[in-house]
Structure 1
Amino acid sequence: MRKTTIYLILILLLIKNTVSAQDIGNGNQTLGNCSSYTTKNNQLIFNCKNNVKVMLQFCSGQVLKVWISAEGTFKRNNESFAVINEDLGWTGNINVNEETSAYEVFTEQLRIRVQKSPFKLQIFDKYQKLLFNDFNDRGFVKQGNRVATYKTLKPEEQFFGLGEKAGILNRRGKSYKMWNSDQPCYGVNEDPLYKSIPFFMSTNHYGIFFDNTYKTEFKFGSESNEYYSFEAASGEMIYYFMYGNDFKQIIQNYVALTGKPIMPPKWALGFSQCRGNYTEEQQARNIAAEFRKRKIPCDIIYQDIGWVEGLQDFDWKKNNYQNPKDMVKQLGEQGFKMIVSQDPVISQANKKQWEEADANGYFATDIRTGKSYDMPWPWGGNCGVVDFTKPEVADWWGNYQQKPLSDGVRGFWTDMGEPAWSNEEATDRLNMKHYLGMHDEIHNVYGLSWDKVVTEQFYKHNPNKRIFQMTRAAYAGLQRYTFGWSGDSGNGNNVLEGWSQFANQIPVGLSAGMGIIPFWTSDISGYCGDIKDYDAMSELYIRWMQFGIFNPLSRAHHEGGNAVEPWLFGTEAENITRAAIELKYKLFPYIYTYSREAHDTGMPIMRALFLEYPNDTETYNLDGQFLFGRELLVAPVVEKEATTKRLYLPEGEWINYNDGKTLYKGKQWITVEAPLNVIPMFVKKGAIIPSMPVMQYIHEKPNYPVSFDIYPDKVGKESSFVLYEDDGESRDYEKDIYCKTKIRALSNSSGYTIHLNVREEKNYKPSGARNYIVKLHSGTKPKSVMVNSSKIKKEKTEVLLQKADLVNEKITYSWDEKEGIVYVKLPDTGLDSQIEISYAL
Structure 2
Amino acid sequence: MKTTRLPQWAILFCLLLLPSAYAADYLGHQLDGQVLTVRTDEGNVQLTAWHSEAFAVHYQPTGVKQLPSFALAGKPESVMVSLTDKGDELIFNAGDIQAHVRKSPLRVRFYRGTDYIGGEERGLFNYDGLRGFRFALQDDEKLLGTGERVVGMDRRGERLPLYNRASYGYGDNRTEQMYYSVPVVMSSHKYMLVFDNSASGWVDLGKSESDVLQFEASAGRTAYLFTAADSFEDLLLNYVRMTGKQPLPPRWALGNVASRFGYRTEQEVRDTIGLFREKQLPVDAIVLDLYWFGTEVKGTMGNLAWHKDSFPAPEKMIADLKTDGVQTILITEPFVLTSSDRWQEAVEANALAKNLGGEDKRFDFYFGNTGLIDVFNPVAQDWFWSVYAGLKEQGVGGWWGDLGEPEVHPYDAIHTLADGTKASADEVHNAYGHQWAAMLAERLQQADPDTRHFIMMRSGFAGSQRYGMVPWTGDVSRSWSGLKPQVELSLQMGLTGLAWTHSDLGGFAGGEVFDQEMYVRWLQYGVFQPVFRPHAQDNIAPEPVFHDERTIQLLRPYLNLRYQLLPYLYSMAFENSQTGLPLMRPLFFDDLKQLENAQSYMWGDAFLVTPVTAAGVSEVTVQAPAGIWFNFWNGTRYQGGQALTLASPIEQLPVLVKAGSFVPMVKAVATTKDYSSAELTLHYYHDVSVKNAAYQMYEDDGKTAGAYDKGLYELLNISASVSDELVIELARDMPSAYQGAPTQRQITLLVHGVEQLPKQITIGQQDAKQWAYDSQKRLLTIDFSWDHQAQRVRIK
Shift of 1:600: 0.5
Shift of 1:31: 3.1
Q: TM-score, normalised by structure 1?
A: 0.87
Shift of 1:305: 1.2
Q: Tell me what 1:16 maps to.
A: none
Q: Tell me what 2:4 maps to.
A: none
1:86 & 1:331 partners in 2: Cα distance? 41
1:140–1:150 contact (8 Å) kept in structure 2: yes
1:64–1:240 contact (8 Å) kept in structure 2: yes
1:52–1:69 contact (8 Å) kept in structure 2: yes
1:276–1:561 contact (8 Å) kept in structure 2: no
Shift of 1:256: 1.2
Q: 1:347 aligns with which of 331, 337, 340?
A: 337
Q: Render the CA deviation track for 1:532-584: whole Å, top value 9, x for unaligned.
A: 322xx111111111111212111100024431222444333222221222221
1:210–1:240 contact (8 Å) kept in structure 2: yes
Q: 1:792 aligns with which of 768, 774, 779?
A: 768
Q: 1:579 aligns with which of 548, 554, 557?
A: 557
2:15 & 2:169 partners in 1: Cα distance? 45
User: 1:538 and 1:389, CA in 2 relative to 1: closer, same or farther beyond 3 A?
Assistant: same
Q: 1:290 aligns with which of 245, 264, 275?
A: 275
1:184–1:487 contact (8 Å) kept in structure 2: no
Q: Tell me what 1:484 maps to.
A: 470
Shift of 1:226: 2.5
Compare 430-439 and 384-393 and name the one that shifted more: 430-439
2:744 & 2:94 partners in 1: Cα distance? 52
Q: 1:61 aligns with which of 45, 49, 52?
A: 52
Q: Tell me what 1:524 maps to.
A: 505
Q: 1:782 aligns with which of 745, 750, 758?
A: 758
Shift of 1:465: 0.9
Query: What is the correspondence of 1:447-466 to structure 2 with a 5 Å cutoff?
Result: 447-466=433-452
Letter in 2 for 1:43: V
1:511 & 1:276 partners in 2: Cα distance? 27
1:68 & 1:337 partners in 2: Cα distance? 47
1:601 & 1:123 partners in 2: Cα distance? 23
Q: Tell me what 1:305 maps to.
A: 290
Letter in 1 for 2:565: L
1:388–1:453 contact (8 Å) kept in structure 2: yes
2:15 & 2:484 partners in 1: Cα distance? 49
Letter in 2 for 1:387: D
Q: Tell me what 1:44 maps to.
A: 36
2:26 & 2:339 partners in 1: Cα distance? 62
2:218–2:427 contact (8 Å) kept in structure 1: no
Compare 114-123 and 262-271 and name the one that shifted more: 114-123
1:742 & 1:25 partners in 2: Cα distance? 56
Q: Render the CA deviation track for 1:134-177: whole Å, top value 9, x for unaligned.
A: 33xx3332222311322222111011112333331211111222
Determine whether 1:539 maps to 2:556. Answer: no
Determine whether 1:256 maps to 2:214. Answer: no
Q: 1:835 aligns with which of 763, 782, 793?
A: 793
Determine whether 1:420 maps to 2:378. Answer: no
Q: Tell me what 1:274 maps to.
A: 259
Letter in 2 for 1:712: H
Shift of 1:768: 5.3
Q: Render the CA deviation track for 1:362-400: whole Å, top value 9, x for unaligned.
A: 111111x42211133433x32221112111233332232
User: 1:57 and 1:452, CA in 2 relative to 1: closer, same or farther beyond 3 A?
Assistant: closer
Q: 1:503 aligns with which of 480, 484, 496?
A: 484
2:214 & 2:639 partners in 1: Cα distance? 40
Determine whether 1:642 maps to 2:630. Answer: no
Letter in 2 for 1:407: Q
2:567–2:677 contact (8 Å) kept in structure 1: no
Q: 1:597 aligns with which of 560, 572, 575?
A: 575
Q: Tell me what 2:149 maps to.
A: 165
Q: Tell me what 1:724 maps to.
A: 698
User: 1:235 and 1:327, CA in 2 relative to 1: closer, same or farther beyond 3 A?
Assistant: closer
Shift of 1:598: 0.5
1:488–1:528 contact (8 Å) kept in structure 2: no
Shift of 1:270: 0.8
User: 1:762 and 1:377, CA in 2 relative to 1: closer, same or farther beyond 3 A?
Assistant: farther
Letter in 1 for 2:237: Q
Structure 1: stretches of 5+ with no match in the other structure? 1-20, 423-427, 794-811
Shift of 1:344: 1.3
Shift of 1:760: 3.4
1:23 & 1:641 partners in 2: Cα distance? 54
1:223 & 1:106 partners in 2: Cα distance? 33
Q: 1:79 aligns with which of 57, 60, 68?
A: 68
Shift of 1:714: 1.9
2:774 & 2:94 partners in 1: Cα distance? 58
Determine whether 1:432 maps to 2:410. Answer: no
1:347–1:382 contact (8 Å) kept in structure 2: yes
2:15–2:21 contact (8 Å) kept in structure 1: no
2:631–2:656 contact (8 Å) kept in structure 1: yes
SS in structure 1 of the partner of residue 400 of structure 2: strand
1:786–1:837 contact (8 Å) kept in structure 2: yes
Q: Tell me what 2:3 maps to.
A: none
Runs (4 or more) in structure 1 with deviation over 6 Å come to 21-28
Q: Tell me what 2:376 maps to.
A: 389
SS in structure 1 of the partner of residue 525 of structure 2: helix
Q: Render the CA deviation track for 1:177-228: whole Å, top value 9, x for unaligned.
A: 2211122113443232112321111112211111011113111111122322
Determine whether 1:673 maps to 2:658. Answer: no
SS in structure 1 of the partner of residue 519 of structure 2: helix
Q: Tell me what 1:759 maps to.
A: 733
Q: 1:378 aligns with which of 353, 366, 379?
A: 366
1:488 & 1:463 partners in 2: Cα distance? 30
2:14 & 2:535 partners in 1: Cα distance? 54
Percentage of matched positions with identical amino acids: 25
User: 1:317 and 1:779, CA in 2 relative to 1: closer, same or farther beyond 3 A?
Assistant: farther
2:46–2:59 contact (8 Å) kept in structure 1: yes
1:715 & 1:620 partners in 2: Cα distance? 26
User: 1:37 and 1:59, CA in 2 relative to 1: closer, same or farther beyond 3 A?
Assistant: farther
Q: 1:823 aligns with which of 781, 784, 792?
A: 781
2:604 & 2:125 partners in 1: Cα distance? 42
Q: Tell me what 1:190 maps to.
A: 175
1:715–1:746 contact (8 Å) kept in structure 2: no
Q: Tell me what 2:5 maps to.
A: none
Q: Render the CA deviation track for 1:266-324: whole Å, top value 9, x for unaligned.
A: 01101112110223111111111111111122211111011015533432211212322
Compare 576-585 and 85-94 and name the one that shifted more: 85-94
User: 1:192 and 1:29, CA in 2 relative to 1: closer, same or farther beyond 3 A?
Assistant: farther
User: 1:603 and 1:340, CA in 2 relative to 1: closer, same or farther beyond 3 A?
Assistant: same
1:377–1:420 contact (8 Å) kept in structure 2: no
User: 1:525 and 1:421, CA in 2 relative to 1: closer, same or farther beyond 3 A?
Assistant: farther
1:688–1:709 contact (8 Å) kept in structure 2: yes
CA RMSD of aligned residues (A): 2.4
Q: Render the CA deviation track for 1:660-679: whole Å, top value 9, x for unaligned.
A: 2x222222222221111111
Determine whether 1:181 maps to 2:168. Answer: no
2:507–2:536 contact (8 Å) kept in structure 1: yes
Letter in 1 for 2:313: N
Structure 2: stretches of 5+ with no match in the other structure? 1-11, 295-299
SS in structure 1 of the partner of residue 570 of structure 2: helix
Q: Tell me what 1:808 maps to.
A: none
Number of equivalenced pairs? 771
User: 1:120 and 1:27, CA in 2 relative to 1: closer, same or farther beyond 3 A?
Assistant: closer
Compare 251-260 and 752-761 and name the one that shifted more: 752-761
User: 1:106 and 1:23, CA in 2 relative to 1: closer, same or farther beyond 3 A?
Assistant: same
Determine whether 1:410 maps to 2:410. Answer: no
SS in structure 1 of the partner of residue 663 of structure 2: strand
Shift of 1:464: 0.8
Compare 261-270 and 509-518 and name the one that shifted more: 509-518
1:623 & 1:284 partners in 2: Cα distance? 37
1:459 & 1:60 partners in 2: Cα distance? 27
Query: What is the correspondence of 1:99-138 to structure 2 with a 5 Å cutoff?
Result: 99=88, 102-126=89-113, 128-135=114-121, 138=122
1:252 & 1:470 partners in 2: Cα distance? 23
2:176 & 2:308 partners in 1: Cα distance? 40
